[in-house]
Amino acid sequence: MGVYRPKNILTKEFLIEEYINKDKTNERLQKEFNFSSSTLFRYLKKFNLQKNKLLSNKITIKLLKEQYINQEKSATQIAQEMNCSCDYILKKLREYNIPVKTAAIIRKKMYYKYGDKHSFLTKEYLYNQYVTLGNNMYVIAKKHNLAVVIVFRRLKLYKIPTNLNAKTGKNNSNWQGGISFEEYGAEFDNALKEQVRFRDNYKCQECGCSQLENGRQLDCHHIDYDKLNNILKNLIALCRKCHTKTNYNREYWIQYFKEVYFGL
């Protein structure tokens, strides 16, 4: 896959056409023309083409209160409608002193709005399935077409010990020969991790959620699962949820990230 030369393609005329006239977002331009966010930002600043100055007149405190609070839209939904980045919406929310909703608050509101969809997972039912019958969380979740985390949270809620059916080490179906205990290379430090997050715009490269929405620093995933291979091309920023997914079916994820993000 060819790499574009920023000095050849990032002219003022090009940016006016693609960024202003066609109203493309920073993320879309980066993906289409394969250059970093820092490079794009530098050229936009050089030619004084900051779209945020134009957006600031549209994204008012009145609009955000109406959509974010009254209509209960997410920052991502508002960003898509306004054709800007989610990070910019979150920045404006903080600027207007509008409290940013955490994942816990959103779940609580969904509960009161739609009720408890998993009321059948009673303490008696889970105790019978998990303790008496010995079914693990994955079996229970699959039986009801649920995410495993839902079953796990209910077990915690009812204070049912969650390690009764645990299979560790070689007895676990996800055993990879003990590679999770291998040490990372010395160069895999906080500075390198921060460099990866900055390169990936502080967004999960699988689901697209921002570091702020994630509620914690993004993880840095080794694409080939080699903890000693710490070159930037082998590292990618993921939220905790997506990072956990990569622990299963590793061959698929290796090929997936190489094809989608690097065109290999």
Start-to-end CA distance of the chain, whole Å, equals: 8
CB 236 within 8 A of CB 220: yes
Residue 143 has a CB neighbour count (10 Å cut-off) of 11
pLDDT tens track, the chain, 264 positions: 444 455 568 888 888 888 777 777 777 787 888 877 778 778 877 887 766 555 667 788 899 999 888 887 888 788 878 777 777 788 888 888 988 876 556 555 555 554 556 778 888 898 888 888 888 888 888 888 887 778 888 888 888 887 655 554 455 555 555 444 467 878 888 889 999 999 888 888 888 888 888 788 899 999 888 888 888 888 999 998 888 888 877 887 888 887 766 555
Closest CA to 218 of 192, 197, 247: 197
DSSP readout, 177-238?
Answer: SSGGGSPPPTT-SHHHHHHHHHHTTTB-TTT--BHHHHTSPPEEEETT--TT---GGGEEEE
CB 146 within 8 A of CB 188: no
Contacts of 41 (CB under 8 A, 6+ apart): 26
- What pLDDT sits at residue 237? 92
Tokens 């994630």 correspond to 214
- What pLDDT sits at residue 219? 92
Give CA angle at 139 (109, 120), nearest 5°: 40
Contacts of 96 (CB under 8 A, 6+ apart): 61, 64
Contacts of 183 (CB under 8 A, 6+ apart): 227
Using DSSP's 3-state secondary structure scheme, residue 2 falls into: coil
CA 172 to centroid of chain Cα atoms:
27
Q: How far apart are CA 125 and CA 151, in angstroms?
A: 11
Contacts of 75 (CB under 8 A, 6+ apart): 68, 86, 89, 90, 93, 100, 213
The Cβ-side half-sphere exposure at 117, using a 13 Å CA radius, reads: 12
Q: How far apart are CA 84 and CA 23, in angstroms?
A: 9
Tokens 């609580």 correspond to 108
Domain ranges of the chain: 10-49, 54-95, 102-166, 185-262
Q: How far apart are CA 52 and CA 59, in angstroms?
A: 10
